[in-house]
Amino acid sequence: MDAIRTEHLTKKYKLGWRRGRLLALDKLDLRVREGEVYGLLGPNGSGKSTTLKLILDLVAPTDGAAWIFDVPCEKVVSRLHVGFLPENPDFYRYLTGAETLEFYGRLCGMSGAPLKKRTDELLELVGLPQARDRRLAGYSKGMLQRIGLAQALIHDPKLLLLDEPTAGVDPIGSKDIRNLILRLKKMGKTVLLSSHLLAQVQDVCDRIGVLNLGKMILEGHVEQLISDQRRLSITVQDLPEAGCAKVEEAVRAAGGKLVSVEHPQTTLEALFLEALSKDERGAGEHD
Amino acid sequence: MNAEQGNMTEAAQESVAVAKPEKEWVGFSLQRVGTIAENTFIEAVRQKVYNILIIFALVVIASASFFSQFTFGEQLKFIKDFCLGALSVFGMLIAIVGTALMLPNEVEKRTIYTILAKPVRRFEFLLGKYMGSALLILVSLVLMTAMFGAALVFKEHRLVSDAVQQAGSVPGVDAQHELQQQIQFIRADAYNPDLVKAVLLIFVKLALLSAITLLVSTLSTSMIFNVTVALMIMIAGHLVGTAREMWSGSALARWFLAILPDLGSFNIADDIILGNAIPWAHVGKVVLYGLVYLTCVVAAAHFIFSDREI
Amino acid sequence: MRRTRLLAALVLIVPALLMMPLASRIHSENVRLKYGTTHVTREMRERIGQGMAIALLAGFRGVVADFLWIQNNDYWMRKEWLRLYTGIELVTTLQPLSTLFWDTGAWHMAWNVGYAVTVDPANRTIAEGIKREREWWDKARDFLQRGIENTPNCPDLYFSMGLLYLEKYKDPCKAQEYFHKAVNAKGAPINMNIRMDAVGRLEARAMENCGDIMGAYRRWKQMWYVDHDQVDQLWSVVEREIRRLEDLLNVPDQQRVFPKEQSKPAATS
């Protein structure tokens, strides 16, 4: 079954007095399979947020339709199995972390001891157990993002919609969120996330779709899309200088062409995270 | 044979598995409405909406402490007029401003996205918000009425002791007798149970104003616009009574006036303070009018909100 | 979207129109109760200022009247009689059902201002002072008359009118008329200093001073023949007056309430 299916989904926004209409989404046909992590990419204004809002029935489509697990999305019941994390989430400032989760849980029909247990579990999962009784007014952006994830998961949904889940979050938090998404995938959940932080999306998504000006211009499996099938990357270790020339010869003899010889690079992110954890370990030793 | 049986059982199991997905259903839930209402109330309280009641307390204290150079009857009239008037004004402030903020805040902070992304009907959300507002108004009124009551008790004790002092200077059984009559008068004037009717009607009026503000806020997200329009409707509503008399001839005018809420009919405080007896039958009619009107306004808000783009 | 807006408009208009009979019944009851929904005229607005006019429109008539009344107190202190007079008129126009305002207003006019203008050093002659005093009595009398028309059930204003005639105009006959109305008024007095038994006694005395001694006697008897436990009354005074009048009128013994012979009411004369 498709977790999400849209057919010819179109949205035109009215721009007020005689300024015509803005075509935000143009006949989108999208299928997100159950159990996969799908990344919806595109520049600002390409229609990513609009797509999510249409799926959640926050706005009505001008044309076309959308289904969640084969239930039309105009029906309230379609959201029984969906968790949503909006962009730059904000919550009721005067509630504490635990109160916030309990609020959302009760909206999903949960109550009493099971709700409390679930709240505790989720706070652990997103790494906020120490802030459970602090009012949200005192949370940092990263903490708000985490509590947002927690509320999206409160009723254990099968499908998660995440709008820019790592925007404005520091590298550690961002890594945590990505790990969490992978864990959710292992649990069999479906994730549709929209982002314009491409490097981060690359790590977690199975498939991606690229939107521009409301139209899907590219779609496919990440692996297939980003790997250059013609080229092969072979990593060698402890090869002396002279060995390089021999390798080049061997390649040419086999009918290929040596394109480049350089030291493999790690990513800046990996370097940063490693440096931090080394520092923490060092500090731990000194104590 | 066992293998066959096993296969059939498996096949049977499979067909059951395929037929299984039952239709899930999400009905109207009072728990959801209650959750949203409670949350609305808590937000308002934690945002110190009730600080406004401190000003009310000052008004109560002032009206109870000054004016000692006036007669007993005048002093009690002042307390009742000023306290009920302030109760009405501050109540209206809490009703209109508190409600005007609700939806715009939700949209601005995007909390509405997270709520409506859950299996929550829009109507449950709207009703929950309104109930939260009504609860806020109710609690405010209860607190203010308690303060008003305390002022009356305080004044009654003061006046009685003044009367006792005055009578003390005139000896004789007759003076004592007259003193008893005076004390009876003071008590009856201070503790007029009909004042409860006045507060009840003020509550219904405020609930109605809150509903009207809610309706306006479904049309626009600017708080200033909401408050201004709600205030204008409030003033228009108070003029309906006067306008009815001036334009009693034209049928069209009468129809137009029927659509506006007749807020003047909720002001029986003046009459009760003057000692007029307002029968429960009349109070009941006004409450009924208010509740029906209020329901219609909330229904209208629901229609507009149900397909509002967020 | 247009369908929902139409629905919204319908649900606002149709039930409101259907409620018209209820609304108009409420309105007419209101008019009956309020007895004089005041139109805020321009003169009134100018007199009370913009802020208070808005308060009036918002339904705070009592508060506005109280503010004006407190202002009147200032005028009284500063001896600004004309301002006081128009102030009193204004307050009673705003709350025509307030016995308190009518009563105290009349008291200010007849007793306070009335006295003040007689001792006003600006008077050139004593006669002028008396003439001015008389004018204020007349003002008070007309004012009270309007008050009575607005509050027909209240004994207070009848009583005040009676006192006005008795103490100022020195007209016991007219006074008696009003004391009688006060005693028979349907409501209870607002002013706690009025004792209805005293009003009865005043009525009887006024009758006597007017010349109707028989009527006065009958009135005293009426006061005597009620349940002494239920009714508040200075019984000793009543008894004294009855005895006095019985002597004055030479009532035959067997018809007396208090026969001269302490034996059984005999047929002797």
C4 contacts on B by Cβ (under 8 Å): 303-304, 306-307
Interchain CB contact of A35 with B (< 8 Å)? no
How distant is the Cα of B309 from the closest Cα of chain C, in angstroms? Answer: 10
The rounded distance, in Å, linking the Cα atoms of C262 and C269 is 14
Q: What is the pLDDT of residue A240?
A: 84
| B310: nearest CB among A58, A91, A109 | A58
How distant is the Cα of C135 from the closest Cα of chain B, in angstroms? Answer: 27
Answer whether A89's CB lies under 8 Å from A165's CB: no
Interchain CB contact of B174 with C (< 8 Å)? yes
Answer whether C137's CB lies under 8 Å from C174's CB: no
Helix B280-306 and helix C2-18: axis angle, to 10°?
A: 170
Instruction: Collect the ranges in chain B with pLDDT lower than 70.
Output: 1-25, 170-174, 245, 248
Distant-in-sequence, close-in-space partners of B175: CB < 8 Å, separation ≥ 6? B167
Unique residue bearing structure tokens 């949200």: A136
Average pLDDT on A116-137 reads: 91
Interchain CB contact of A157 with B (< 8 Å)? no
The rounded distance, in Å, linking the Cα atoms of B157 and A240 is 105
Average pLDDT on A241-249 reads: 85
Unique residue bearing structure tokens 């505790």: A120
Q: What is the pLDDT of residue C44?
A: 66
Phi, psi of A40 (to 5 degrees): -100, 115
Helix B52-65 and helix B122-168: axis angle, to 10°?
A: 20
How distant is the Cα of B238 from the closest Cα of chain C, in angstroms? Answer: 6
Interchain CB contact of B123 with C (< 8 Å)? no
Distant-in-sequence, close-in-space partners of A212: CB < 8 Å, separation ≥ 6? A42, A43, A46
A54 contacts on B by Cβ (under 8 Å): none
Q: How many CB atoms sit inside 10 A of residue C16's CB?
A: 22
Asked if pLDDT for residue A104 goes beyond 60, the answer is yes
Answer whether B100's CB lies under 8 Å from B228's CB: no
Nearest CA among A236, A160, A167 for reference residue A191: A160
Residues in chain A, overall count: 287
Neighbouring chains of A at 3+ CB pairs under 8 Å are B
* First-to-last C-alpha distance (Å) of chain C: 103
| C23: nearest CB among B67, B186, B262 | B262
Q: Which of A73, A79, A107, A159 to mutate to test the interface with B (most CBs of B within 10 A)?
A: A107
Q: Which amino acid is at C38?
A: T
Q: What is the pLDDT of residue A266?
A: 80
- Kindly state the greatest CA–CA separation across chain A: 74
The rounded distance, in Å, linking the Cα atoms of A36 and B296 is 47
Asked if pLDDT for residue A38 goes beyond 90, the answer is yes
Which string of b and e fits C204-221 if b means at least 16 CB within 10 Å? Answer: bbbbbbbebeeebbebbb
Nearest CA among B219, B273, A203, A251 for reference residue C1: B219
* First-to-last C-alpha distance (Å) of chain A: 54
Neighbouring chains of C at 3+ CB pairs under 8 Å are B
Nearest CA in chain B to A87: B110
Interchain CB contact of B208 with C (< 8 Å)? no
Nearest CA in chain A to B45: A94
At residue A99 the predicted structure's pLDDT band, cuts being 50, 70 and 90, is very high
* A256 Ramachandran zone, left/alpha/beta (phi>0; psi -120 to 50): beta
The rounded distance, in Å, linking the Cα atoms of A166 and A88 is 10
| A94: nearest CB among B24, B32, B43 | B43
At residue A120 the predicted structure's pLDDT band, cuts being 50, 70 and 90, is very high
Q: What is the pLDDT of residue A272?
A: 86
Instruction: Collect the ranges in chain C with pLDDT lower than 70.
Output: 1, 33-47, 57-58, 192, 261-269
Q: Which amino acid is at A151?
A: Q
Instruction: Classify strands A21-33 and A2-14 as parallel, antiparallel or unpaired.
Output: antiparallel
Q: What is the pLDDT of residue C21?
A: 83
B256 contacts on C by Cβ (under 8 Å): none
